[in-house]
Chains A and B, each alone.
Chain A
């Protein structure tokens, strides 16, 4: 349960990082889809 306790201690920072990573991945996905041949 160490991971969960670390995430919990970071609180809103966890949410911010997870959401930011998800949106960055989605923006990158646009570029990947553009390159599909």
Chain B
């Protein structure tokens, strides 16, 4: 990798850090404005989220069904209402422009707005000094859509058009879907090959803008959090923990791809691994995009994930397996990270023998149980669904490659779906769509994947709202000499440690069997 590549990575980190407080300040202003609808407690808020999502499930299913088998429609609908955007279909050959615009693009906005709304509600629960309510879901949803997502998407969409992203009814309304694809951490491409395609991502600048859009809101929400709890250092502490894990991921992928694979060496091919990468992007931009899209629950790609080296492919999987909390999805990343923060405070409290507090509120048995449920639920879902898929004949028909790569495809598929990411190891399929025969879906992969996405989205979401509902009623105790400060570098280290330990302990065996073996073998799969 060239020096320019490292400069690009450093530039990205600098620009992201610069825009975080700016966008955070604006979003905090938006969400501090009084609600025009009645206040809701956590249960009312949670029910509104589910009712809203169920209603859109029906609408989107009806829009997509004319061009897809029932099971692929189920999977795709679950995918887009949960902000996952896992795609068993190819947009340009399966769907019409109208379906992409009225169905998928709309859902790109709406599902992202749901995530932001819930994150804001959770922040209110932590910030409140007394009360029982978390705001109003529909008011937060409206503000997210009208004041945040729509204006940014319109402006950036026009910038992308200036770079050559197409926007026409004949060739496809791509730019209008492209901006929200990244801004909402959706990731579902208009074209099957996503941002590797010049019509979606034509230049270095468009690539940089798209990468910036993916992390813009998840990063800004840390600033919103700091501002709304009245201590900006709290937000920077969360941001720092996220940034540390993010930078480690980028460096590992960049180095791994720069060294190629043992199989390449055995075949007499020396140098870096350019398989599946666009020549115009190279190692640095692909490594950066790969890590950005998997730390956030975006899933847009500018290269082929399956063509990464063993270790290069391990990092995106591990990023998702943290529960998508390293910046994470819009909203879901922050409330997921706050649950890890509560876990970190609890573990630290155990070590010093003191009742844990978070932002002055006592963390007791109920909050810890809910936090464990919210943080462990999705990893268990990933392991459970992957195990069923790899052990059953129904699941094996979706796998393309053999050996450890076949296991990696399966693990990646359910990791990505349950964590609402949406990127894929390309071999894994749930939709057979030959040009000259009737199309049909692979029922098992579609239904199991759809359920993984729905429960992967809503289990932590409901747990986070329940925790917020519990904490909102607690009185704030002033910080004393023995209080473990959550705006300190020590806390950042604790937070990083808790995330790494939980992800590693849960997934190390599975990762060893897949990408690690793949990275050590001389055999091509």
Among candidates B74, B365, B394, B444, residue contacting A18 with C-beta atoms closer than 8 Å = B74
Per the bound structure, the CA–CA distance linking A1 and B443 in Å amounts to 10
Among candidates A11, A12, A26, residue contacting B50 with C-beta atoms closer than 8 Å = A26
Q: Which residues of chain B (17-71) have a CB below 8 Å from chain A? A: 43, 46-47, 50, 53-54, 57, 61, 65, 70-71
Q: A27-B47, A30-B46 are in contact. Are A18 and B451 (CB under 8 A)?
A: yes
Q: Which residues of chain B (460-475) have a CB below 8 Å from chain A? A: 462-463, 466
Q: A4-B394, A15-B70, A27-B47 are in contact. Are A33 and B463 (CB under 8 A)?
A: yes
Chain B residues with CB under 8 Å of A26's CB are 50, 454-455, 458, 462
A34 touches B73 (CB 8 A): no
Q: B158: CB under 8 A from chain A?
A: no
Among candidates B61, B73, B366, residue contacting A36 with C-beta atoms closer than 8 Å = B366
Q: Which residues of chain B (367-393) have a CB below 8 Å from chain A? A: 369-370, 373
Per the bound structure, the CA–CA distance linking A30 and B46 in Å amounts to 7
B429-460 interface bits toward A, Cβ cutoff 8 Å, 1 = contact, 0 = none? 00000000000000110010011001100110
Among candidates B43, B77, B365, B394, residue contacting A34 with C-beta atoms closer than 8 Å = B43
Number of A-B contacts (CB under 8 A): 70
Give the number of residues in A that approach B within 8 Å (Cβ atoms): 20
Q: A18-B447, A19-B57, A22-B454 are in contact. Are A34 and B466 (CB under 8 A)?
A: yes
Give the number of residues in B that approach A within 8 Å (Cβ atoms): 33
| Contact residues of B: prevailing secondary structure | helix
B133 to nearest A CB, angstroms?
A: 15
Chain A residues with CB under 8 Å of B46's CB are 30
A23 touches B50 (CB 8 A): yes
| Contact residues of A: prevailing secondary structure | helix
Chain B residues with CB under 8 Å of A7's CB are 71, 443, 447
Of chain B, the residue at the smallest CB distance from A20 is B54
B258 to nearest A CB, angstroms?
A: 43
Among candidates A15, A22, A30, A37, residue contacting B73 with C-beta atoms closer than 8 Å = A15
Q: A15-B70, A22-B455 are in contact. Are A33 and B54 (CB under 8 A)?
A: no
Q: A4-B443, A15-B73, A23-B50 are in contact. Are A33 and B462 (CB under 8 A)?
A: yes
Q: Which residues of chain A (1-37) have a CB below 8 Å from chain B? A: 1, 4, 7-8, 11-12, 14-15, 18-19, 22-23, 26-27, 29-30, 33-34, 36-37
- A residues sitting closer than 8 Å to B (CB atoms) are 1, 4, 7-8, 11-12, 14-15, 18-19, 22-23, 26-27, 29-30, 33-34, 36-37
Shortest 10 CB-CB contacts between residues of A and residues of B: A33-B466, A15-B74, A11-B70, A4-B443, A22-B454, A23-B54, A26-B458, A12-B70, A30-B46, A15-B70
- 13 sampled A-B residue pairs with Cβ under 8 A: A4-B444, A7-B447, A18-B74, A18-B451, A19-B61, A22-B451, A22-B454, A22-B455, A30-B47, A30-B50, A36-B366, A36-B466, A37-B365
11 additional contacts, CB 8 Å, given A14-B74, A23-B53, A36-B370? A1-B394, A4-B394, A7-B71, A12-B65, A15-B70, A15-B71, A19-B54, A22-B451, A23-B54, A27-B47, A30-B46
